[in-house]
Amino acid sequence: MNKYESVIIISPNVEEEGIKNLIEKFSGLINTQGKIESVEEIGKKKLAYDVKKQKEGHYVLLNFEAQPELITELERNYRITDEIIKFIVVRKED
């Protein structure tokens, strides 16, 4: 398994409960074929430029181990989730 780091930016219109539900959803997805190492809610920050007409967003950092096949499915889920305005998944070097 490879180590990955994912940063997701959630729309500022989402309530605290909705953010927790999204984190649980993606953590559950990762845990099906991998293992979450840490989840860090960074909080609401101003964006460098407007993304989907939003000026700020809730940042969440996920560190996890997974098989490479899971990344495709994870990114597909990020894309179809309306509350996610931006995301990135990066493989960490050993």
Question: Hey, where are the domains in the chain?
Answer: 2-91
d(CA 67, CA 57): 29
Task: Choose among 4, 8, 17, 2: nearest CA to 59.
Answer: 8
Q: Determine the pLDDT at residue 8.
A: 96
Output the CA torsion sign for 62, 68, 73, 79: positive
Neighbour order of strands in the sheet with 2-10 = 34-51, 54-66, 2-10, 84-91
Q: Determine the pLDDT at residue 93.
A: 84
pTM of this prediction exceeds 0.75: yes
Per-block average pLDDT, block size 10, for the chain (94 residues)? 95 94 94 94 94 93 94 95 95 85
Q: Which CATH class is domain 2-91?
A: alpha beta
Q: Determine the pLDDT at residue 27.
A: 94
Other C-beta atoms within 10 Å of 76: how many? 10
